[in-house]
Amino acid sequence: MEEYEVYQAIGEEGFERLVAAFYRQVPQDDLLGPMYPAHDLAGSEQRLRDFLIYRFGGPQRYIEQRGHPRLRMRHAPFPIGVDARDRWVQLMTRALEEATLPCDAAECLKSFFDAMATFLMNRQPS
């Protein structure tokens, strides 16, 4: 499946379930929990959801509200070494399992998450 076809396959609803399953794990995560704004996790959830919807062929709400993603720049304040990268991917992999999306869409998303999480690393080695 091509990236632009994922939105058609899983819709708003699929992205909502995926991102909700991810953020449900964040507050109790010892490594990632403290990085996210405890008072605005719903806002964080919405930003990631809208970004993914835009990135995978859906409406452009993220761009309208946040402008160019500049994800490396926006992640610069957070120390992302190999441990944080692996943990993020681990939580998202669990979320993908929980959301039970069609296999081809889930595989496409998984490759993107792996690559993007590595791209966002900004610390060595942790």
Contact set with ligand HEM (CB under 6 A): 32, 35-37, 43-44, 47-48, 51, 66, 71, 74-75, 78, 80, 84-85, 88, 113, 116-117, 120
Closest to ligand HEM by CB, 75 or 94 = 75
Q: What's the closest the beta carbon of residue 107 comes to ligand HEM, in angstroms?
A: 15
Q: What's the closest the beta carbon of residue 21 comes to ligand HEM, in angstroms?
A: 14
Q: What's the closest the beta carbon of residue 82 comes to ligand HEM, in angstroms?
A: 10
Query: Among 41, 32, 34, 10, which residue's Cα sits nearest to residue 92?
Result: 32
Closest to ligand HEM by CB, 47 or 94 = 47
Phi, psi at 118, each rounded to 5°:
-70, -40
* Amino acid, single-letter form, for residue 63: I
Angle at 87 between CA 85 and CA 88, to 5 degrees: 65
Closest to ligand HEM by CB, 24 or 75 = 75
Closest to ligand HEM by CB, 76 or 102 = 76
